[in-house]
Structures are given as C-alpha cells and as structure tokens.
Amino acid sequence: MDTKELLKKVRKIEIKTRRLSDHMFGGEYHSTFKGRGMTFSEVRQYQFGDDVRSIDWNVTARYNEPYIKVFEEERELTLMLIVDVSGSEMFGTDGQFKNEIITEIAATLAFSALQNNDKIGLILFSDEIELFIPPKKGKSHVLRIIRELLEHKPNSKETDIAMALKYFSKIIKKKAIVFVLSDFITDAYRETLKIVSGKHDITGIRVYDKNEEQIPNLGVVQMEDQETGELMLVNTSSKGVRAHYRSYYLGRANYFKESFQKSGAGALTCRVDESYVKKMLGYFKNR
C-alpha cells in the first residue's frame, strides 16, 4: 500500500469512526468507564449532611472545629487495544474481512477515549508481539494507531492470546481499560485471563464471519489453513466432516464466552455482516 492510498484509507476510517464516537459512543464510553479512584482535593469546614467518615481529625483538632477531606474522581484513564493480526483475521465472505471490522471497532474506541482525554495504547499480536505503541494522548497518536492497524504486515500467521495478555500485564502496571479484539479461534488463555482481569477492566470482542460457523456441502474441495498455510483436500459432502467442524467451531466460541464470564470480564460478539454499532451500544448500556 503506497503512502497516498494509506492516507486515504486512514482518512476514510477517521471520518466514519469519529462520527460514531462523537454522536454515539462518546457519552456511553464516559459513563461506562468511570474514574479509576478518588484523589484528594482540599479540606473544608464540616456542613450539615456531610459524611462523618470524611472528617479530617488532625485539621479539626488544630482549628477546634470540624473539617472534612474533599475528594474528586480521578478521570484520566488508559485504554489499551490488544489486537489479533494472525492469518485467520484475513477472512471474509461478505465484502469485508474480519480485520477490517476489527480496525473500525478499534478506531471507534480510540476516538471515544480521545474525546474523554484518556491515553490510548496498542498491542498487535499473533503468536508473538508484533508491535507495541505505549499509551499516549492526542489525535495524531490515534491516527498513528489507525495507520498501524491498516498497514502492519505480521511476521507470523498463528495466534497466542495468553502470550499477548502476559506481555500486556508486564508492561502496563496501572489499572487500564482493555479491549481484546480477535476471532478467538483458539483456546488455552482462560487462566491467564483470570489473572489479568483481576487487576484490569477487560472486554473481549469476538469478530467472526457467518460462513465460519459451518462448512457448506460443496463436494471435495481444497482448503488452506490461514494460520499454518497447510493445504488439504476436504470432502465437504460428508456429514461427519461437517459435524466435526461445527463441533470444533462451537467449542471455540463457547470457550470464549465461558472464559470471559468466569474471569469477571466483559464479552461481546460481532458478526462481520451485522452492525457492530448496535452491539457495542447495547454492551455499554448494559454495563
């Protein structure tokens, strides 16, 4: 992709996703993810109705009349986008690949955080860490994140979600809002997710194509595993083959749902040919 084409794509995504974040997600994002805690602001004289637990006894003793501590919500948050760039994300049968929808969702979340004056960071992963952009504020920073989502060419096609979560946990020490965007056609990340979600506010967004749910009856066809590159002949007319694939797919989808639920994390599923806008708004409101 040359520079001119890249800038055109970045601009197109900025216009679409910024409009969404301005008119729809900004307020929902703000109300869903409250401040991380309370910071001390000042002391003032006690007034009728104040919580007695807020009395500052040292200042009260000094002035011989009751004073209370006043706190204010700590508003600045850190949003981390952990995005799967493995080979299976390059699949789509309805005019859009999964990775294109993932990019739009990530951009919408980034602009919502920008509106809230929060820091935004990015981790791109396959079965290795492909790229880390430390959390930072500002529109130019968000546009850089979108450029990387569009342009990055992964070194590997395979996936390791547990590895990505472990890496994130090591480098981000303060509590963060985290969105993990992937098709989650893998497992073995449940235990790591439990540990990381104990400290951070995590949501998994599973993006999938309807034609991944089951194999159509097309006779004997050659298929390629998008993560390993392996080619194989598959007899799709076999009910057993189709049932085995269906069972495997549903197993991964259920593993995703159960893993996030049992970890106390949020979970959201978006199909490529459906509106992710409605899904995300519903998720924010239900929170």
- Superfamily for the 3-32+75-286 domain: von Willebrand factor, type A domain (3.40.50.410)
Tokens of 190: 């449940």
- C-alpha 180: how far from chain center: 4
Predicted confidence (pLDDT) per residue in 5-33, tens digit: 766 777 777 777 777 776 556 566 666 66
Please write down the HEC assignment for all residues of 155-201. Answer: CCCCCCHHHHHHHHHHHCCCCCEEEEEECCCCCCCHHHHHHHHCCCE
pLDDT for position 75: 58
pTM of the model: 0.77
Given a contact cutoff of 8 angstroms between Cβ atoms, the answer to whether 88 and 159 are in contact is: yes
What residues does 158 pair with on adjacent strands?
none
pLDDT for position 180: 98
CA distances from 281 to 45, 117, 146, 160, 286 (A): 42, 20, 21, 29, 9
What is the spatial distance between Cα 106 and Cα 286, in angstroms, rounded to a whole number?
Answer: 20
pLDDT for position 38: 52
Domain boundaries, the chain: 3-32+75-286, 38-73
pLDDT per residue rounded down to tens, the chain (287 residues): 566 676 677 777 777 777 777 655 656 666 666 554 555 667 888 888 788 888 999 999 999 999 988 765 555 789 999 999 987 765 655 667 888 899 999 998 998 888 888 899 999 999 999 999 999 999 999 999 999 998 899 999 899 999 999 999 999 988 899 999 999 999 999 999 999 999 999 999 999 988 787 777 777 777 666 666 677 777 777 787 777 778 888 999 999 999 999 999 999 999 998 888 888 888 887 77
Tokens of 138: 């500002």
pLDDT for position 80: 97
Given a contact cutoff of 8 angstroms between Cβ atoms, the answer to whether 98 and 60 are in contact is: no
Residue 159's Cβ-count burial label (10 Å; 0-12, 13-18, 19+) is buried
Q: Report the 10 Å Cβ neighbour count for 218.
A: 10
What residues does 67 pair with on adjacent strands?
45
Helix locations, the chain, DSSP H: 3-20, 26-32, 57-63, 98-115, 139-151, 161-171, 190-197, 239-262, 276-286
pLDDT for position 51: 80
pLDDT for position 260: 96
